[in-house]
Structure 1
Amino acid sequence: MQEDFRLIVDLVSVLAAAAAGGLLAALCRQPVLLGYLVGGMVVGPAGLGLIKELIQVETLAQFGVAFLLFALGVEFSLAELKKVQLISLGGGGLQIALTILGTALVSVGFGWVSSPPQGVFLGAILSLSSTAVVLKCLMERGETETPHGQVMLGILVVQDLALGLMLAVLPALEQPAETIGVAVITALIRIGLFAAGAVAAGIWLIPPLLRLLARTESKELFLLGVIALCLGIALLTEHLGLSIEMGAFVAGLMISEVEYADQTLTYVEPLRDIFATLFFASIGMLIDPFFLWQNLELILQLVLLVFVGKFAIVTPLVKIFRYPWKTALIAGLGLAQIGEFSFVLASEGQAMGLVSRRVYLLILGTTAVTLVLTPFVMRLVPKLLELSWVRAILEDRDVAIAVAEKLPQENHIVICGYGRVGRNLVRLVQEHGYPLVVIEQSESRIQQLREAGVAYVYGNAASLHVLETAGVDRAQSLAITLPDPMSTRLCLKRALELSPELDLVVRADRDKDIEILYQLGAREVVQPEFEASLELATHLLIGMGLSPNNMQKEMQEIRDRHYLDLRPERSPDDVTRELQLATQDMNSRWYAMPVESPLIGMTLEEADMRYLTGVSLMAIRRADGTEVDYPDAQTILAKGDRLLIVGEAEEMAAFDELAKGDTTIPADNNPCHWLIVSDDSPAIDRSLAELDIRRLYSVQIQAIRRDGKFMRFPDGSMQLQPGDRLLLCGSSSALNQLQPLISPGNTCKFIPAVSIIKAIESEVLKEYVPIDSLRE
């Protein structure tokens, strides 16, 4: 076969194998990345041996990483990099140094290597994590803009920069100390000169060049110019002793500050995806399954050592830089692998005699296994964080880092997140003179709030303690503008635990999150793209002569229908599949309704299960097999139903008691009210059995909130303490008689539990902040 035709056959074979592997992985509901690796393994030299031109395929696969990092640079931007510059430079640098130092000490101490330079070399290999794999996982989950995504990408950027320094120092490792010093200084000078040149080009060269290309109005010419720019800078960095990938990333950063960044990203994304697939398949071709099997025990030990070691280094470092425990844990687990650039170092080290062939293959096998496991680890992290004991540990430690001197005490607005939407929302609320508090966990944004004189709480908005510090239990309204879907759901649920009557509006970045957020208790869910569509349509149709009042009414009806008119039509199976995937990240279970349950025959509005037990109902599976996804308030519970519920273990236990009839459901005319046990209450230090409130006052204690813990249907042995918040249900006259015992001197307004869901027709936030102003 002709040599040039052989390369074409090899490329087609790799892409076909990757496509088949990715399809199989998707059908098995596994990360498609795993399918690409397995596909490469099957057609590679250790598999069927279909690929003959391995070097040429690997060379083309380098384009995949280059385009991945180029796209990352375009999306990341210098402004985004600046937000995490401390953890990037400080944390990333410390992580590399500690990994190298720890690996060198352990490897020399246990005799794994014969000299300290070899230990340093091994540490350099282990210090690098996989930019390509982590970035792919974050993009698939839509988490590149989240705090943990920004932290991981910032550290990865520093690791990629360090690769050039490592390659420069590598030949001098066996030389005297002064030779190593010269190599380091030379490499730093090269990096500094390149950085200065990149900044200058980004200011004076790149913008006019892109404007010239855009002026031609030729998509092909614009794409060709961008690709030539990206690969040209990548080749320049390779010539300077850095990596091609780092040059591509810097090229993306330079373009990110130009007005054509979005257009560039749109054009490059298809090429990025194809070449990235080729790259992951080429990694699979390097994996020798027979060698892995023969050394399986040793490789698994090394994999465990890498995961535990890097997790133990990264997690404390992120926490030291004042990030929440959740961010630290996700970053620690997400970076606990060996990166694809380690292949480059390992190959250079073997050529220079720093490692033997067997050690090289062990490094290769360990790296491959960690890359395969990383997507699974990233998918398991949300489930791990949802475990009750993990959440209890995190909540005990996840407190407010800093608080403004003066916080509003009641009837204020809490805004979670101070990104672009959060800033606009703060400005609009301030213009109307309403008191507000912003919860944010970025140090740079907290500094902006300090300078603007806005009350703030520095911490994780999904933490119960942070929400309590912001006074959510005394607030009038709360708006959630967080970029992370999981944090958004947690923040929503915990805010409603503190204040079930809270007027709560949430931004949903993805349309598939809209119904989930409504089911969890949001009063209003805003989707920026749909809101933009509504405003554009309103302007155009009013211009055609339609009545503004009628148009506003029509658009509001679309909002009331949760944007169903604008969402793409999906089959019931697709909706069910999306619901199951969404609830995987939450603590959920299917609950079979007891045959004699008092809830049977009641509507969801009448049962009011979220208010009384804390659980959220996501779906109902009827006895005949039909499924009702995202049921509305008028859905009637029937015999034989199985309910998909989401909630904490104690909330599910409380719902079980409610469904079995072990606790009573307040009558329609019975109000429920949260009442705080005051310091002068005569009920302090007395047990519920001793107080016998249910018999003496015909009032039931549905729940107690104490020290951030939510206890449903407490038993008689529990003693009341100052500051306890009691959810009391009974007649208005009975509650008025009970109030002097619980909270002397305070007056209360009672709200019927059944009307909580539909109360306050004109929501407070809508009165002074138009929902359409929340658009990006």
Structure 2
Amino acid sequence: MQEDFRLIIDLVSVLTAAAVGGLLAALLRQPILLGYLLAGIIIGPAGLGLIKELVQVETLAQLGVAFLLFSLGVEFSFSELQKVKGISLGGGGLQIILTIGMTALVSLLMGWVTSPAQGIFLGAILSLSSTAVVLKGLMERNETATLHGQIMLGILVVQDLALGLMLAVLPALDKPPGEIGLAVGWALLQIGLFALGAVLVGIWGIPPLLRLLARTESRELFLLGVVALCLGIALLTGQLGLSIEMGAFVAGLTISEVEYADQTLTYVEPLRDICAALFFAAIGMLIDPIFLWDNLPSILGLVALVLLGKFLIIAPLVKVFRYPLKTSLIAGLGLAQIGEFSFVLASEGQRLGLVSQKVYSLILGTTAVTLLLTPFVLRSLPQMFVWAESLPWLKHWLDKADVPLEVSKDSPVGEHVVVCGYGRVGRNIVQLLRDRGYPVLVIDQSEHRIQQLRETEIPYIYGNAVSLHVLKKAGVGKARGMAIALPDPMSTRLCLKRALELSPELDVVVRANQDKDIELLYQLGAREVVQPEFEASLELSAHLLTKLGLSLPALQREIQKIRYSHYLTLRPQRRPDQVSRELQEATQEMNGKWYPLPANSPLVGMTLEETDLRRLTGVSLMAIRRSGGDEMDYPDRKTVLQEGDDLLIVGEPDELAGFKDLAKGEVAIPNENASCQWLLVPEDSPVVGKTLAELNFKQQFGVLIQAIRREGKYIRFPDGSSDIQAGDRLLLCGNFYSLDRVSQSIAPKQKPATNATSQSNGHAG
């Protein structure tokens, strides 16, 4: 068979297998990346042997990772890299040095290698993590813009830069120290010259070229020019002894600051995705399942050593650079694998005689297994933290460690607005509020943004907005409102829920990162949810419609109607099973549980407005599954609970326990004539220090204290021995007259809170 025709058959086989593997993985709700890797194993030399020209397929696959890193460079940009330069350069460099040093020491002591040179070489292999796999996982979860995503990508960039240095030093490892020094010096000089050249080209060469291509108004010419630029710079770095992947990343960085960056990314993405599928399938072809099985104990031991060792190096390093504990843990777990570039180092080391064939095969096997595990680790991180927080001792440790790193001296103490996230949206919110004289406090965990806040003298808290400690320090309980503009959906949901735990009546407006998050955020208690793309559509339409003759009052009514409907007329139609699947995934990350409603439950026959579940127990009801099999996602306040219903509820363990007590009828539910309100106990209140039995509000006024919120803790249905402390929020239930009398006895100068029956936006909670 002709060689060129053989290559076409191989390419078709790889792409078909990758498509089938990815489809099966998606249907099984597994990472698509896993499907690509398994497809490569099946059709590769160790599987069915369908691929004959493995070298040529690998060459094309190398283009895939080059385009992947090129896209990363375009999205990441110099400004994004600047935000995490400390942990990238300092932490990334220290991680490589520590990994090499510890691996060399342990391998020599254990007798795995016979010389320090071999130990250093083994450490170099283990020090590299997988840029392609981690990047793909972050992109699938929309987490490239998150703090932990930027930290991981920053460290990976430094690792990729170090690959060129490692390749230059490898031949001199068994030479005298002087030769090693010369090799390191020459490699650093090459990297420095290349970096200088990239900066100069990025300033004076790239912008005019892209403008020239754009002026042709030809999509084909623009794409061809960009691809030629990417591969040309990649080829240049290959000739200099660096990796072509590093060159592709630098090419992306040079384009990222130009006005055509978004257009470039749009054109390259389809090509990138196809070539990336080729790359991951090619990695799978290198995996030999038979060898893995024959050496399973050794490989599992090495995998455990790699995962634990890299985690114990990276997580503390990130923490040393003053990042939150949870961010440190995520970065440590996310980078605890051996990277695809380690194949390059291992092949070169085998050629130079630094490792035997068996050790080389063990390295390949260990690398392959860690790459297979990484998508599962990245995907299961939210569930891991939910599980960790369900253990009281571990939750206490995590909460204790996640404290504010810094608080500005001029922070407001009350009647202020808390803004979570100081990106583009958060910055605009702060400016508009300050221009009108409203006190503002910003929460952010990026050192770069905190420095901007210091320079502009805007009050801030340096910490994780998801942390109860940080929210409490921000005075959420005394705030007039909160705006949440965080970069990732998970942090947004948790920040919203925990802010309402501290202040149930807080007016919270939230930016939805995706349209599928809108109903979820309303259900969690947001007073208003804003989706930037829909808002842009409304503003553009408003301008056109007014010019076309529609009256301004009529237009405003139409726009307000769309907003009240949660953009329902603008949102694309999705199948019920798709909505249900997305809801299940989101609630699984937030400690969501299905609970069967008991047959004799007092909740049966009540509407969700009447049950007032969020106020009474703290939980949010996300879905109802009827006894007939029908499922109602995001039920509204008029929905009636029926016998045999299964309820999907989200809440902390104590909140879930409170809901179960309520559903079983073990605690009283306010009757239909009763109203509920939250009341803040001031420091000078006469009830401070007294127990509920001493106050006896039920006997005196006919008012029940259904719950106490205290420093983020939810005390459900307190008994008579519970005491009242300053700063407590009490949930009082009774008729209006009685509530007014009780509120006067607790806080004579404070007006009663808003009636509980006024649900926001028509949602149940």
Same fold (TM over 0.5): yes
Task: Pick one of 738, 754, 757 that aligns with 1:754.
Answer: 757
In structure 1, what is the equivalent of residue 431 of structure 2? 427
In structure 1, what is the equivalent of residue 264 of structure 2? 264
The residue type equivalent to 1:556 in the other structure is: Q
Q: How does 1:299-378 map to 2 (within 5 A)?
A: 299-378=299-378
- Please say which of residues 312-321 and 659-668 is displaced more in the overlay: 659-668
In structure 2, what is the equivalent of residue 72 of structure 1? 72
SS at match of 1:439: strand
CA distance in 2, matches of 1:361, 1:742: 74
CA distance in 1, matches of 2:753, 2:176: 80
In structure 1, what is the equivalent of residue 500 of structure 2? 496
The residue type equivalent to 1:676 in the other structure is: V
Q: How does 1:401-550 map to 2 (within 5 A)?
A: 401-550=405-554
CA distance in 2, matches of 1:199, 1:683: 65
Deviation at 1:397? 1.5
Does the 8 A contact of 1:73 with 1:251 survive in 2?
yes
Task: Pick one of 671, 675, 678 that aligns with 1:673.
Answer: 678
Deviation at 1:79? 0.5
Q: How does 1:194-273 map to 2 (within 5 A)?
A: 194-273=194-273
Deviation at 1:691? 5.0
CA distance in 2, matches of 1:395, 1:748: 33
CA distance in 2, matches of 1:740, 1:117: 79
- Provide, for residues 411-448 of structure 1, a one-character-per-residue CA deviation record: whole Å limited to 9, x for no partner: 21111000000111111111211111111111111111
> Which ranges of structure 2 fall in alignment gaps of 5 or more residues?
none
CA distance in 1, matches of 2:457, 2:291: 62
Does the 8 A contact of 1:415 with 1:478 survive in 2?
yes
The residue type equivalent to 1:213 in the other structure is: L
TM-score, with normalisation over the residues of structure 2?
A: 0.96
CA distance in 1, matches of 2:90, 2:129: 16
Distance 1:39 1:671, change over 3 A: closer
The residue type equivalent to 1:473 in the other structure is: G
- Please say which of residues 90-99 and 407-416 is displaced more in the overlay: 407-416
The residue type equivalent to 2:68 in the other structure is: L
The residue type equivalent to 1:548 in the other structure is: L
SS at match of 2:750: coil
Deviation at 1:223? 0.6
Deviation at 1:370? 0.5
Deviation at 1:670? 2.9
Deviation at 1:393? 2.8
Distance 1:629 1:758, change over 3 A: closer
- Provide, for residues 152-180 of structure 1, a one-character-per-residue CA deviation record: whole Å limited to 9, x for no partner: 00000000001011111111111111111
Residue 162, structure 1, aligned to residue 162, structure 2: yes
Deviation at 1:739? 5.5
Does the 8 A contact of 2:303 with 2:370 survive in 1?
yes
Does the 8 A contact of 1:413 with 1:478 survive in 2?
yes
In structure 2, what is the equivalent of residue 773 of structure 1? none
CA distance in 2, matches of 1:594, 1:754: 25
In structure 1, what is the equivalent of residue 109 of structure 2? 109
Deviation at 1:679? 6.4
In structure 1, what is the equivalent of residue 21 of structure 2? 21
In structure 2, what is the equivalent of residue 568 of structure 1? 572
Q: How does 1:655-666 map to 2 (within 5 A)?
A: 655-666=659-670
CA distance in 2, matches of 1:474, 1:339: 48
Distance 1:741 1:101, change over 3 A: farther
In structure 1, what is the equivalent of residue 284 of structure 2? 284
Does the 8 A contact of 2:61 with 2:279 survive in 1?
yes
The residue type equivalent to 2:446 in the other structure is: S
CA distance in 1, matches of 2:309, 2:276: 28
- Provide, for residues 541-597 of structure 1, a one-character-per-residue CA deviation record: whole Å limited to 9, x for no partner: 111111121111101111111111111112222221221222221201111112222
Deviation at 1:36? 0.5
SS at match of 1:506: strand
Task: Pick one of 652, 657, 666 that aligns with 1:648.
Answer: 652
- Provide, for residues 198-240 of structure 1, a one-character-per-residue CA deviation record: whole Å limited to 9, x for no partner: 0000000110011111111111111111111100000100111
SS at match of 2:757: helix
SS at match of 2:442: strand
CA distance in 2, matches of 1:167, 1:514: 49
In structure 2, what is the equivalent of residue 621 of structure 1? 625
Deviation at 1:11? 1.0
Does the 8 A contact of 2:518 with 2:529 survive in 1?
yes
Deviation at 1:661? 1.9
The residue type equivalent to 1:142 in the other structure is: N
Distance 1:714 1:108, change over 3 A: farther
CA distance in 2, matches of 1:79, 1:382: 28
Deviation at 1:305? 0.8
Deviation at 1:70? 0.2
Does the 8 A contact of 1:679 with 1:723 survive in 2?
no
Residue 32, structure 1, aligned to residue 32, structure 2: yes
Does the 8 A contact of 2:675 with 2:736 survive in 1?
yes
SS at match of 2:622: strand
In structure 2, what is the equivalent of residue 714 of structure 1? 718
Distance 1:645 1:82, change over 3 A: same
CA distance in 1, matches of 2:202, 2:213: 16
In structure 2, what is the equivalent of residue 774 of structure 1? none
Does the 8 A contact of 1:34 with 1:372 survive in 2?
yes
Q: How does 1:23-172 map to 2 (within 5 A)?
A: 23-172=23-172
SS at match of 2:508: strand
- Provide, for residues 300-320 of structure 1, a one-character-per-residue CA deviation record: whole Å limited to 9, x for no partner: 111111111111111111111
CA distance in 1, matches of 2:762, 2:61: 59
CA distance in 2, matches of 1:503, 1:707: 19
TM-score, with normalisation over the residues of structure 1?
A: 0.95
In structure 2, what is the equivalent of residue 577 of structure 1? 581
CA distance in 2, matches of 1:632, 1:122: 59
Deviation at 1:689? 4.7
Does the 8 A contact of 1:675 with 1:728 survive in 2?
no
Deviation at 1:660? 1.8
Does the 8 A contact of 2:709 with 2:729 survive in 1?
yes
Deviation at 1:329? 1.1
Does the 8 A contact of 1:678 with 1:742 survive in 2?
no
SS at match of 1:379: helix
SS at match of 1:754: coil
Deviation at 1:759? 10
The residue type equivalent to 1:478 in the other structure is: M
Does the 8 A contact of 2:41 with 2:287 survive in 1?
yes
CA distance in 1, matches of 2:230, 2:50: 32
The residue type equivalent to 1:752 in the other structure is: N
Q: Identity over the aligned pairs, expressed in percent?
A: 69
Deviation at 1:722? 4.4
- Please say which of residues 538-547 and 750-759 is displaced more in the overlay: 750-759
SS at match of 1:628: strand
Deviation at 1:708? 3.2
SS at match of 1:753: coil
- Provide, for residues 475-522 of structure 1, a one-character-per-residue CA deviation record: whole Å limited to 9, x for no partner: 111110000111000000011111111111100111111110011011
SS at match of 1:271: helix
SS at match of 1:589: strand
Does the 8 A contact of 1:675 with 1:727 survive in 2?
no
